[in-house]
Each structure stands twice: as C-alpha cells, then as structure tokens.
Homo-oligomer: A and B are copies of this chain.
C-alpha cells in the first residue's frame, strides 16, 4: 500500500514504456532522461499517467477548487511527492491556459487504524517546500489544503459529486474480507494448506475469490462514481494478472512460499493444522478483462486506458532480493498472521520463509503482475 511504488524492488521486463505512455491519446507526452534505468522508467511511466490523468480531469472542467483523493495513502511519506507532482502539473497547465491556478483540496484516505498523525506532522514542511519550488519558477504558488478521511474505500467516503480526481496505488488488490465461500456445507475449510488461489485449490476456491472481487470492485466503482464529478478521472494501480488463468504463477508464487513455510512449521508441530487450513488472505489479483467486465457492468465509467505488465523483483543479487521481498511480505502480512496464529510464530515463520525464498530466487526470477487503469466518469 505504498503510494505508486510496487511493494518491492522491481524492474520492468515485459512492458514497453513508450507504448504505455502513447497507446492512448490524452495521456500526454513523456520526456525521460535517456540514461535512467528501465525500472525507474516503469515507475515514472505509472506516475506520469496518474499526473496526466489529473491534468485531464482539471482541463475538463477548469474548476476554481480542484479536489482530489489518494485512496489507501498509507502512513508513509511516499504519498506526498506524487501529490506535489499533480499540483505542479495542474499549475503549469493553468498558467499555459492563462487561467488562475485553482486552489487544491487534497484528501488522504486509509483505514482508521492507519497512522495519520505522523503524516500530518510532515505536511507543513511538505507544503512549504512545494510552494517554494513552484515560486522558484516564477509566479504565486497555489493554495493547498489537506484533510484525512479515515475509512474503507469499499463504500462511500465523500459527499455526492464532490471530487474531480481519484487515484489509488497498490491498495485495491486487498479485499475488505476473506471470501465467505472458503468452507464446505459443514463449515470445513476447502482450501486446505493454502492461503490464496493455488493451482491445487478446488474450483470453488477460485469462484469464492472471484465473486468476492466482483462484489467489492463493483461497490468500489459505484461509490466512486457517486463521489466523482462528471468528466472526472480515476486511476488505479494494483497487483493483477496478465492472463485469464486464476492460478497465474506471478500472483500466487509468494503466497505459495508462505504456504510451504507453514507446512514446514506444521510438520515440526509448531503450529496447528486447523489454523493453517483456516488461514486465507483477503487478496485478489484480477485480470484486465475482469476489471473491464465490472466497469461495463457498473456503467458510469469509460476506460481511457488499461494495461497489464510484469515486473521482476530481481536486482541481480538473488539473496538480497529474497531478503527485501521477505521483509516486504512480513511488513504486509505480520498483523494478519499474528491475529490468526499469535505473535510467537512470526520470527520463526519469516526465518523459514526467507530461506525458502532464497532457494527459489537462486533458481529462477520471480515476477509480479501489475494493472494500471484510467477511468473517466461519463454517466
């Protein structure tokens, strides 16, 4: 849930950056230094698309106040640089159009348990530097106002017709809950030994996850549609699948290594089998087609742009990669695992996990699949 940085060190391997930037009109032109790495380019391309979509949203109505939200902003300061880029780009656009730069109202959203206090403490300095940076290039910096909105984006967060632009980075692959259909009619777990869709999971597991995704993504779209102005834009970056295969390797491999870690601890009687069988993650990595289907069904949005691509976690040093990935997965999963199994197993679990991941990464490159979607509210 780090704003527009995938959860671990990544490198673009199959995505054509130029096609990402130019496949669709209206997403603007990129001008990147020729010598930046492919990885940097990939991140920049995603950020560029978010910024250009915000500029498009502004251009479509030229409001006096431009209100936008980062959904799932997390507590880190990663959210702020992108917000600065959006404000600067709209400021430049307004000046070119000889318009007064709008005032900006920026909403930061995450669950109520997020640490908003630490983000608030970094806002005054961020705002000061942003203004100084803009004024360095001449003219008056625009007024920027911040507010935090605690709550789940699977439901309404803002009054009707109150936002010009919405984006969400690496948050929407989290469901609001584990699908209810992961038990049989007797209440026994059907996804035994697995925590996500695996290539050995029964079809009912895939169906349970898919239906939960459909229900939640549809609710997400409906909620945002009510909040967004007509002509407003919404950008979502998330983990996804490049294929229609639900047990696509890139979306399940890291979960399966965690399954294997639990199996080892189970064989050593360090955890209960029942606990392992009932542990499932509230996660779903959709394909572009599944997203498209939900967008068409909901009916308020037009897809301006949708792209899937694979990123490798390889830095060229497999042991370092395994360490970084293990730490990232621990950071993401620790609270959920502690809640289910108790805190005592965490250190051992991630020791085992790190070992298995190192072995795997020494053998093969691990890729993750990503989705980037730009929507425009048309109804």
Which A residues fall within an 8 A CB radius of B? 64-65, 67, 103-105, 107, 112-113, 115-117, 120-121, 123-124, 143, 145-151, 156-160, 162
A146 → chain B closest CB, angstroms = 7
Partner of A159, one of B103, B148, B151, B159: B103
Q: A103-B160, A105-B159, A113-B121 are in contact. Are A146 and B149 (CB under 8 A)?
A: yes
Cα–Cα, bound, A120→B160 (Å): 22
Q: A120-B150, A123-B150, A147-B147 are in contact. List 20 more A-B contacts (CB 8 A).
A: A65-B159, A67-B159, A103-B159, A104-B159, A107-B147, A112-B120, A112-B121, A112-B124, A113-B121, A115-B117, A116-B116, A116-B117, A117-B117, A120-B148, A143-B156, A143-B159, A145-B159, A146-B149, A146-B150, A147-B149
A160 in contact with B65 (CB, 8 Å): yes
- 29 A-B pairs whose Cβ atoms sit less than 8 Å apart in the complex: A64-B159, A64-B160, A65-B159, A65-B160, A65-B162, A103-B160, A105-B158, A105-B162, A107-B147, A112-B120, A112-B121, A112-B123, A112-B124, A116-B116, A116-B117, A116-B120, A116-B148, A123-B150, A123-B151, A143-B156, A143-B159, A145-B149, A145-B157, A145-B158, A146-B151, A147-B148, A147-B149, A148-B148, A148-B150
B148 in contact with A156 (CB, 8 Å): no
Residues in chain B near residue A148, CB distance under 8 A: 116, 120, 147-148, 150
A252 → chain B closest CB, angstroms = 33
The 3 closest A-B pairs by CB, nearest first: A65-B159, A147-B147, A120-B150
Cα–Cα, bound, A239→B103 (Å): 34
Residues in chain B near residue A159, CB distance under 8 A: 64-65, 67, 103-105, 143, 145
In the complex, the count of this chain's copies comes to 2
Cα–Cα, bound, A160→B145 (Å): 11
Cα–Cα, bound, A201→B265 (Å): 75
Cα–Cα, bound, A145→B149 (Å): 8
Chain B: CB-nearest residue to A107? B147
Residues in chain B near residue A143, CB distance under 8 A: 156, 159
A345 → chain B closest CB, angstroms = 27
A114 → chain B closest CB, angstroms = 8
Cα–Cα, bound, A150→B124 (Å): 9
Determine which residue in A103, A116, A147 has the highest number of CB atoms from chain B within 10 A of its CB, and name it: A147
Residues in chain B near residue A65, CB distance under 8 A: 159-160, 162
Cα–Cα, bound, A64→B227 (Å): 13
A300 → chain B closest CB, angstroms = 18
Chain B: CB-nearest residue to A117? B117
Residues in chain B near residue A157, CB distance under 8 A: 145
Cα–Cα, bound, A150→B123 (Å): 9
Cα–Cα, bound, A244→B234 (Å): 56
Determine which residue in A64, A120, A149 has the highest number of CB atoms from chain B within 10 A of its CB, and name it: A120
A255 → chain B closest CB, angstroms = 29
Residues in chain B near residue A103, CB distance under 8 A: 159-160
A91 → chain B closest CB, angstroms = 15
Residues in chain B near residue A149, CB distance under 8 A: 145-147
Chain B: CB-nearest residue to A148? B148
Chain B: CB-nearest residue to A124? B112
Residues in chain B near residue A145, CB distance under 8 A: 149, 156-159
A77 → chain B closest CB, angstroms = 14
Cα–Cα, bound, A145→B145 (Å): 18
